[in-house]
């Protein structure tokens, strides 16, 4: 059964979910935007008999602290996550990376490659080939970050946009409203638009690191399962298939669902993880 905790890390209260025997191999679950660790609510019970599961909320997300003075960059989110692992005395782990969790997870892997037992990348992109059409527009914003464009990208926090992230590419009636309703509720927390806008702008640093992430894969050849909602318009299936360019042993599975694949295919994804690792 999952338990719920807050721990002080770098002066910040970081929330995390924990399940499974502490003597089992650790499975670190890293969430995406605009969600938090609640996105793993269906997956955790399917894995807790085999893994010691740790699923944190990043700074500024979910139940973790969201201080106004924090530097909301992916480098800083990674630094706090690394320090969380130190506080929890976790020295080796599998990681499940999704969306924003992918560049954070791969930064962790580059910093300490021998800690990684294996990687599950679920719509967790690290290849230019995996960037859907909207990213060309974001690249223009990164090159010319006008206040007008920054304001425009606040539409990413609109309720209809968040619902679309969950529902696009899925069969009607297959997605519970629980996840996106909670994500929408979190958008009303103080300072949400500013910190999330900062991260949208900083995402360009992740794209710039793609060649280094790929070099890590080529050099260390970690065991990797790429399981992808193939109807995702943000991170398209080419991003999953591209793993085989650097990691021929990668296991790639394309599922008939959208970006938040766990909402519809948690059982299938859990079975693939258990088989692979």
| CATH number of domain containing 255 | 3.40.50.1820
Give the C-alpha separation, 268 to 260, whole Å: 13
Give one word for 232, left, alpha or beta, with left for phi > 0 and alpha for psi -120 to 50.
Answer: beta
What is the residue-averaged pLDDT of the chain? 97
- Choose among 56, 105, 58, 40: nearest CA to 270: 40
Q: How many domains does the chain have?
A: 1
Work out the burial of residue 150: count CB atoms within 10 Å of its CB; fewer than 13 is exposed, 13-18 middle, 19 or more buried. middle
**Would you call 259 a catalytic residue per the annotation?**
yes
Q: Mean pLDDT, to the nearest integer, of 17-33?
A: 98
Above pLDDT 70, what percent of the chain? 100
- Strand intervals (E) in 103-243: 116-121, 224-229
Q: Which two tokens stand for residue 88?
A: 């929890």
**∠ CA 78-84-82, rounded to 5°:** 35
Judged against a pLDDT cut of 90, whether residue 59 lies above it is answered with yes
> 199 or 154: whose pLDDT is higher?
199
Residue 51 binned pLDDT confidence (cut-offs 50, 70, 90):
very high
Confidence bin at 273 (pLDDT 50/70/90):
very high
Expressed as residue numbers, the domain containing 115 is 3-276
Locate 173 and state its tokens.
């009636």
**Local confidence band at 154 (pLDDT 50, 70, 90 cut-offs):** confident
Mean pLDDT of 20-48: 98
Given the residues 38, 52, 259, 265, select the one marked as catalytic: 259
Cβ neighbours for 255, distance < 8 A, ≥ 6 positions apart = 227, 228, 229, 230, 261, 265, 268, 269
Confidence at 155, pLDDT banded by 50, 70, 90 = confident
Q: What is the mean pLDDT of residues 213-228?
A: 98
Q: Which tens digit of pLDDT belongs to each residue from 66-98?
A: 999 999 999 999 999 999 999 999 999 999 999
> Angle 142-143-146 (CA atoms, 0-180°, nearest 5)?
75
**DSSP run (H or E) holding 52:** strand 52-56
- The percentage of residues in the chain with a pLDDT greater than 90, rounded to a whole number, is 97
- pTM strictly above 0.75: yes
Of 54, 59, 60, 24, nearest in space to 186 by CA: 60
Identify the pLDDT of residue 152.
87
Q: What is the pLDDT of residue 21?
A: 98
């Amino acid at each position: 059964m999952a338990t719920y905790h807050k721990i002080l890390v770098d002066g910040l209260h970081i929330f995390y979910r924990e399940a499974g025997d502490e003597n089992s191999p650790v499975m670190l679950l890293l969430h995406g935007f605009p969600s938090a660790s609640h996105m793993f609510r269906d997956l955790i019970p399917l894995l807790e008999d085999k893994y010691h599961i740790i699923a944190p909320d990043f700074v500024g997300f979910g139940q973790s602290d969201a201080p106004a003075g924090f530097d909301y960059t992916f480098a800083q989110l990674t630094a706090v996550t690394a320090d969380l692992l130190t506080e929890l005395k976790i020295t080796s782990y599998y990681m499940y990376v999704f969306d924003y969790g992918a560049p954070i997870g791969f930064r962790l892997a580059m910093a300490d490659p021998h800690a990684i037992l294996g990687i599950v990348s679920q719509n967790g992109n690290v290849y230019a080939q995996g960037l859907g059409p909207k990213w060309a527009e974001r690249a223009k914003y990164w090159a010319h970050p006008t206040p007008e464009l920054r304001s425009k990208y606040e539409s990413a926090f609109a309720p209809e946009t968040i619902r679309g992230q969950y529902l696009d590419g899925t069969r009607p009636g297959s997605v519970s409203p629980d996840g996106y309703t909670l994500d929408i509720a979190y958008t009303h927390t103080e300072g949400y638009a500013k910190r999330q806008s900062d991260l949208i702008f900083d995402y360009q640093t992740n794209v710039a690191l793609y060649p280094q992430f790929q070099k890590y894969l080529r050099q260390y050849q970690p065991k990797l399962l790429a399981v992808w909602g193939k109807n995702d318009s943000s991170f398209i299936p080419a991003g999953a298939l591209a793993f085989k360019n650097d990691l021929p042993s990668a296991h790639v599975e394309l599922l008939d669902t959208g970006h938040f694949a766990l909402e519809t295919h948690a059982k299938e994804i859990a079975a693939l993880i258990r088989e692979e690792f």
